[in-house]
């Protein structure tokens, strides 16, 4: 009997001994259509780690972190995740459509799936044409969005730890002053580009046309020209594609050409040399045109952002849209984007279109 009690006591000691919490994160998962042999995890300049990705797209590694937001970079599209020591987090995604396919499972899945859902919701709530609204309408819209963001956070608050919850609350507090400042800045752009109006447009010459041959701006004289400056790695550019297709369809029989000029120069592609990166960017441009069935006139700029046409229009961010009249003069050097309700109003108001 004493032996039995001794054994039970020893068992109790071992059973009650708690395993020390992990002081690291375990990251694993798989990447479809992988773009490189590595997955880069980073937090500004404070932290970075490269995780090797096998040929079949799977990966697994550990890392010690400070609780907070981190970026992961698959070679093309950076994505945010939330990490905390102790997590055993599995990530799955397809580089062809990261936002649509990114999923998390395992310990740490709840806050990260919340972030995925939040980003998707924000894209629907905060549409680009919000900056085209009159000030009173803009302010009313911002109040409504702020309310929706608070309701969304309240709905998911129980699944978030205190650090993430505090961070999300702080972001909502910063939302209104941040977007209002952006609105005022955008409204001020009209004056910045007013000097272009009515003057001959800067030229582009012999840009490669996806359909073959070369195209110059002078080839399009006699027609209105709506130019879209974009790149395959630019998320806001890609979000305009469905709207651009819709506008092209509505005005296909009018006296206007829709011209998309890619400024891809290697960003988003892992390569050993600038030449190799440029080649990958060029191939990526052709692939995206085919995959997304892009219409209009598709051109490739001769030197990315450093192209004289881009520089002469003082382009420091994309997407950027330009409207030129049949004589080759500038109507608007910062025209409404396709998703803006103002674009169709402008186009319908053109003479002899």
Hey, what domains does the chain have and what are their CATH numbers?
A: 18-107 (2.60.40.1120), 126-187 (no CATH), 196-348 (3.40.30.10)
The alpha carbons of the chain give a radius of gyration, in whole angstroms, of 26
pTM, to two decimals: 0.66
d(CA 58, CA 177): 42
What is the arithmetic mean of pLDDT over 60-77? 88
What is the arithmetic mean of pLDDT over 190-205? 93
100-156: pLDDT as tens digits: 889 999 999 999 999 999 988 988 888 878 988 999 999 999 999 999 999 999 999
Residue 59: how many other CB atoms lie within 10 Å? 19
Note the residue count of the chain. Answer: 353
1-36: pLDDT as tens digits: 555 444 445 445 445 455 566 889 999 999 998 878
pLDDT at 325: 97
Alpha helices in the chain (DSSP H): 2-16, 98-101, 109-125, 135-156, 162-187, 189-192, 235-239, 241-250, 274-291, 308-312, 341-348
| DSSP secondary structure letters along 28-40 | EEEEET-SSSEEE
């Amino acid at each position: 009997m004493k032996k039995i009690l001794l054994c039970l006591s020893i068992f109790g000691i071992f059973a009650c001994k708690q395993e020390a919490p992990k002081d690291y994160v375990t990251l694993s998962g798989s990447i479809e259509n992988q773009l490189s042999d590595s997955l880069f995890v980073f937090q500004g300049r404070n932290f970075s780690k490269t995780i090797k990705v096998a040929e079949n797209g799977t990966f697994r590694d550990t890392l010690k972190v400070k609780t907070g937001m981190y970026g992961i970079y698959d070679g093309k599209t950076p994505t945010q995740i939330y990490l905390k020591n102790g997590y055993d987090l599995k990530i799955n995604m397809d580089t062809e459509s990261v936002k649509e396919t990114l999923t998390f499972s395992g310990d740490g899945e709840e806050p990260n799936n919340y972030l995925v859902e939040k980003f998707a919701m924000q894209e629907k709530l905060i549409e680009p044409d919000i900056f085209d609204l009159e000030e009173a309408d803009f302010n009313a819209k911002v109040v409504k969005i702020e309310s929706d963001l608070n309701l969304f956070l309240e709905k998911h608050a129980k699944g978030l730890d205190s650090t993430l919850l505090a961070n999300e609350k702080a972001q909502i507090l910063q939302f209104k002053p941040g977007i209002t400042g952006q609105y005022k800045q955008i409204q001020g752009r009209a004056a910045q580009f007013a000097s272009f109006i009515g003057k001959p447009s800067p030229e582009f010459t012999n840009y490669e046309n996806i359909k073959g041959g070369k195209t110059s701006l002078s080839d399009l004289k006699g027609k209105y020209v709506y130019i879209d400056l974009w790149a395959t790695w630019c998320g806001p550019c890609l979000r305009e594609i469905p709207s651009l297709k819709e506008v092209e369809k509505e005005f296909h029989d009018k006296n206007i050409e829709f011209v998309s000029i890619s400024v891809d120069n290697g960003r988003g592609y892992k390569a050993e040399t600038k030449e190799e990166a440029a080649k990958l960017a060029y191939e990526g441009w052709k692939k995206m045109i085919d995959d997304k069935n892009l219409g209009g006139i598709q051109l490739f700029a001769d030197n990315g952002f450093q192209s004289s046409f881009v520089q002469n229009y003082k382009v420091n961010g994309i997407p950027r849209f330009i409207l030129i009249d049949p004589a080759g003069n500038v109507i608007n050097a910062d025209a409404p984007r396709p998703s803006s309700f103002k674009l169709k109003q402008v186009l319908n108001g053109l003479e002899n279109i």
